[in-house]
Chain A
Amino acid sequence: MKVGVLVFPGSWSHDDFLWVFREVLGVAAEPVWHKATSVAGFDALVLPGGFAHGDYLRAGAIARFSPVMPAVRRFAEAGGPVLGSCNGFQILCEAGLLPGALLRNDSLQYRCQWVHLRVENPDTAFTPGAHRGQVLAMPISHGEGRYVADPGTLRAMNDRGQIVLRYSAPDGRLVNAANPNGSLDHVAGIVSERGNVFGLMPHPERAAEAALGGTDGLAMLGALAAERQPAPAR
């Protein structure tokens, strides 16, 4: 089992992910520079947060054309588990590996804070042991996290259980005050139709040790590292 953590010029969360996989979970993990053209040898991939390629034009718009992205696409299409957090989520949307897009926060402010997340679909590969309605706590740190999708897409995603996490109050209520960026329907995290690509604006790697203030992100990363299905052909 080896996790590949992608590194784009401007990524900033890759070292935190590598730390959690290696030091907290005891799993092999290696950085993968964005100019790599293969992800052979990896069983799971992470697209970390940051500002890949300066977020020029739109967040994730340029990163999507990095040389490594065709290999990421093949990996995802073959069923390999992929997790994108924050900027990684934006890149996955721009690349079309996840539906929708992420726009400027409705407050027009950068938001760096802890948020509460209600588990909407516990039956994904990334939410082991969670139950429907459970409330998790994780930090966010972004200026462009307002999730948008057209109504038809959103409805279909709801029906298929693709919406995994919603911003909520600590007791699970979906109140506007708990939505840090104006995301449509409070969407904080989604999976692809097939369920193997997971994108979320919060930072699970920053909620992976008690010293950081919480460990709700650890199970998510542990699940990614525990995928035991044979590595897909690339």
Chain B
Amino acid sequence: MIEACVYVTLKKGVLDPQGDTVRSALEALGFAGVADLRIGKFMVLTLENGPRAEVEARVHEMCRQLLANPVIEDYRFELSEVGQGLPAGKRP
């Protein structure tokens, strides 16, 4: 199986009030020097094995059509082989 780790983040320039609030909270805790903090989404997809290029193209398509909204968000992903063919639920 192939695991796709998808990161979805707000585009630069799109205000992230949640990130700003968490950054202030860190500051209140005494963590100085956090210049910026942006909150995004992290998704893990377990996919059937296939030629790398095809899997990559499919994940791009998934991101474009649903996982990210191109108006406000950027995405990137990493693929890795996992589980030696065992179904996702049966992995140790």
Contact = CB atoms under 8 A, between A and B. Distances in A.
Contact of A148 (B18, B67, B72): B72
Given A57-B66, A61-B66, A101 B17 contact: no
A185 interface: no
Interface string A51-76: 00000011001000100000000000
B71 A101 contact: yes
B43 to A, nearest CB: 9
B13 to A, nearest CB: 8
Contacts of B49: none
B14 A94 contact: no
Interface string B1-34: 0000000001000110110010000000000000
Interface string A82-123: 000000000001100001110111111000000000000000
B18 A108 contact: yes
Nearest to B11: A150
Contacts of A148: 14, 71-72
B67 to A, nearest CB: 8
A218 B55 CA distance: 51
Contacts of B21: 108
Contact of B72 (A103, A106, A182): A103
Nearest to B17: A106
B contact residues, range: 10 to 19
Contacts of B71: 93, 99-101, 148-150
A101 B72 contact: yes
B81 to A, nearest CB: 26
Contacts of A150: 71
Interface string A144-168: 0010111000000000000000000
Interface string B68-79: 010110000000
Contacts of A65: 66
B15 A106 contact: yes
Nearest to A106: B17
Contacts of A61: 66, 69
B15 A182 contact: yes
A54 to B, nearest CB: 15
Nearest to B10: A103
B66 to A, nearest CB: 7
Interface of B: 10, 14-15, 17-18, 21, 66-67, 69, 71-72
Given A104-B17, A107-B17, A149-B71, 20 more contacts: A57-B66, A58-B69, A61-B66, A61-B69, A65-B66, A100-B71, A101-B69, A101-B71, A103-B10, A103-B15, A103-B72, A105-B17, A106-B15, A106-B17, A108-B17, A108-B21, A148-B71, A148-B72, A150-B71, A182-B17
Q: Which 9 A-B pairs have the closest CB atoms?
A: A101-B71, A101-B72, A106-B17, A108-B17, A101-B69, A148-B72, A58-B69, A148-B14, A108-B18
6 contacts: A57-B66, A57-B67, A101-B71, A105-B17, A108-B17, A150-B71
